[in-house]
Structure 1
Amino acid sequence: MSFVIVNATPSSAVATGGTIAFALANASVLGQVKFEGNHVLYARGLQAQFAFPADFTIAYSGSTATVTYNGTTSIPAGTLVELQLESAGENNYLYKSTEPQDAVKDILGNLRATVARPVRVLFGAVAAASATAVVNAAARAGVVKNTYASAVVLDVPRGLAVKSSTTDTTQTVTVFGTDEFGVAMSETFTLNGTTAVNGKKAFKTVTADQNNIALAGNLSVGTQAGVLGLPFFLPGGTSAGAGYVMKETQDGATPTAGTFVGGDLTKATATTGDVRGTWTPNAAPDGAKVYEVVISASDLAFKGVPQFTS
C-alpha cells in the first residue's frame, strides 16, 4: 500500500457513533482511496490506533471523508486525530531514491498514476458443483455445533449452498471453516426448504455447521458452480461487474464473460460478501474445463478486511 494522511481536530468530544469530517486535499484524492481498505485512525488524545472497518467506517463525498467512530472511549475535544488512507499501489515508500518509483504524482503531491501488474489467477480444472460435497442429508435435530471428524477441503475456494430435505424455511444454518490462507470464517444461511440457498463467501475448508433450531428435514451443504474465491483484494465494490479485470480464459481461449464481485469493504458479518471478491465463470465447472483470469493488480499484499467468524 501507499497512503494519504489527513488530520482533523474535533471541537467537541466524539463518542461511539459520532463522526469526524476530514478534508481531503481535493476531490481527485477520492479516486485514490475509495476502493481501498487498509485504513488506520490514530487519536492522539487517547494514544490509541483504530482499524478499519471494525473500529471506524468512512463515507466519502467529493473532497470530504466522514469517519464514524465505533470505539468505546470518547475521543477528547481539541485533540488531533490522524486518518491514514490507503491508496492504490504497492509499498512505494520502501523504495530507495536510486530505484525507479511505482507512482507518478503531480506538483501538489496528488497520486496520478501507479504501477499495476497483470496477475494470472489460476483455478485449474474446477470440480462440478455438488449439492452434497460437504454434508449429505444429515439429521440436525439439536442446536449444538456439529464439528466434522476431519475438515472438508475444497478444490478451490468457492461458495457454498445449503438446503433441507423438506419444508424448513425459518431456520438458519451457520457454516464454519477457513479461507485459503487458513483464516477462520463463517457464514449464516436462512433455509428455503428444498431450494438451495447460495452463499457469498468463498470457503477453502469447511469444519462445522450449526442450526439455530431443530430441522424437520435433513441438512445438505454443497458447493456452487460459481463464486470462486480470489487470492487478493479485487477493488470495485460489491456489485457485479467489478473493474480491474483484464481477461478471462477457459481452456486457453476467451469465453463468454462471467461475473465478478469486488471485495466487500464493510465490517464482515455472518452475511456480508467475500472480503476479497469472487468470480463466477459463464460456463459451469465440470472438472475438465481449465479456468484462469488476469487482473490488473496494484497491491497483492492486501487480502481484504478481517474475516468474520462467530
Structure 2
Amino acid sequence: MDLRDLEAFVAVAEELHFGRAAARLHMAQPPLSNRIRRLEHELRLQLFERSTRTVTLTDAGRRLLDPARRTLNQAAVTAEVAASILSGEEGRVRTGFAGASSQRLLPMLATAVRRAHPRIGLVLKSQTYVYAALEELLSGELDLAFVRLPIAHPELSHRAVEVEELVCALPADHRLADRERLRLSELAQEDFVSLAPDQGSMLQATMMSLCHAAGFRPRITLLAPDSSTVLALVAAGAGVTITLSSVCPVQSVGIVYRPLESIHPSHLVSALAWRTDNPSPALARVVEVSQTALPTPDFAASGINDLPIGIGQV
C-alpha cells in the first residue's frame, strides 16, 4: 500500500470534495481520482459514494479513516526519527569506562550530553579497563571509551581529558606516613595491594614498570577488583599501592597519599578514544560536547614535561 494513496484518501475523506483535496495536496484532480480508484481496487472496497454534486464516505471508508490517519502519523514520526538519527540528534553511543577517575569524569560528560542532546543515550559498560576497551573499540563493540595514553592503534582517534599524578598510598600509621615525599625504592620490602594483572589496567601495568625501574619486583599480597577496594585494603593496613591523585578522595580515612620522587612517568593521561572511521552521527555529537564538558588540559601551563608520547588531540 502506497502511503501517498492513503494520504489522498484522508484528504478526500476530510474535504469531501475532490477539487479541494487536490488543491490541498498540490496536485491535479485527475491524478487524485486515479489514486483513490487504485486504493479501492487494492483494498477491494468502495471508500466513497460519488455523484455529480456530492462525495460521501461509505461505511467502509468511515471505518478505515482513523487507521489511515494513524498510519500516516506513524510514518511521519518514523521519518522524523530517521532525520534525527541522521543528524546525530538521536541515537546511542556505547561507552566503556573503569576506575574511579573515569567514574568521576563520566557524569560530567553524561550531564552535558543530556543537556545538549536529550535524545542521545550513553549506553554504559563499566569495568572496561584500558586494554580491553581498546580492543572493543577496534572490534566495534564500543563507540567511545575512557582510556589512558599512549595509544598504539592508528585506527583510533582520541582526546586527552585529564592529567593525573602518580602517588603512593600508605596506611595512616605506616612508618613512612610522616614523610612529605617518598622514593619508590623505599617500598621494596613492603606488601603491595594491586588490581589484578589480567584486567587490562594501565595503572597496574605502570606500577609494575615503575617498581622494576626502581630495582625491585613488588610483593603483591592482595588483589582487588577496582581502585576503591584497593584503597580500602590499604587503609585497613593490608599493604601499600601506587595510585592516582584523581582517586584520592575515594578513601580519606586511615590512609595517606605521598608524592614519589624521580619516577618516569610521574603522571598518567586520561583520554576519550573512538574509531576514526566510526560513521555514527551521535558519536560525533558526543565528541563535540566533550570538548566543552571535558576540555583538553593545558600541559604546558601545568609545567608537566614527562607525559607519554601521543598526548595531543587527534
Q: TM-score, normalized by length of structure 1? A: 0.21
Q: TM-score, normalized by length of structure 2? A: 0.21
Larger radius of gyration: 2
Higher relative contact order at CA 8 Å, sep ≥6: structure 1 or structure 2?
2
Of Structure 1 and Structure 2, the greater strand share is in 1
